[in-house]
Amino acid sequence: MDPPAFMEQVQILAHDVLLWIGFGTLVGLVAKAIMPGRDPGGAVATLLMGIAGTVLGCAVLSYFYEGARISPISVVGFAAGTGGAFVLLAFYRILGGFWFKEGAVPPRHRVYRRAARRRTYVLEE
């Protein structure tokens, strides 16, 4: 392989990586905006979840459409990436204890007793 062809391949690879990172960030933000409630993750978790969701969603979509190369730039790719990130966010919340607490006992009906009044006595001399 000659050096100009190698550099062109490296440039194409760098472009694809930055493309997936950029759209993965957008997809992660959209998935967090769609899913109601507070999220346990911060900005880095949103970025990684968006990238992983984009890869997962586009990979599943390309599995069902054999021979098709799905890009996150297309509307279909963006929708598939958002769906993948949404699924990952749901699993992240379930495993992070957002909806369930391990070993938690359901709340019982409590009987509250009225507190006794304290009386103040003044002693005179």
Confidence of residue 114 (pLDDT cuts 50, 70, 90): low
Range with top average pLDDT, 30-34, 49-53, 120-124: 49-53
Answer for the pair 50, 31: CB distance below 8 angstroms, yes or no. yes
Lowest average pLDDT, out of 8-12, 55-59, 65-69, 118-122, goes to 118-122
Judged against a pLDDT cut of 70, whether residue 112 lies above it is answered with no
Q: pLDDT band at 121, cuts 50/70/90?
A: low
Give the SS3 label for residue 13: helix
Range 69-81 average pLDDT: 81
The answer on pLDDT for 55 being more than 70 is yes
The position carrying tokens 């003044």 is: 122
Whether the per-residue pLDDT at 89 is higher than 70: the answer is: yes
Provide the CA 105 distance to its chain's centre, in angstroms.
27
Q: Work out the angle at residue 85's Cα, subtended by the Cα atoms of residues 82 and 91, and round it to the nearest 5 degrees.
A: 145
pTM above 0.75, yes or no: no
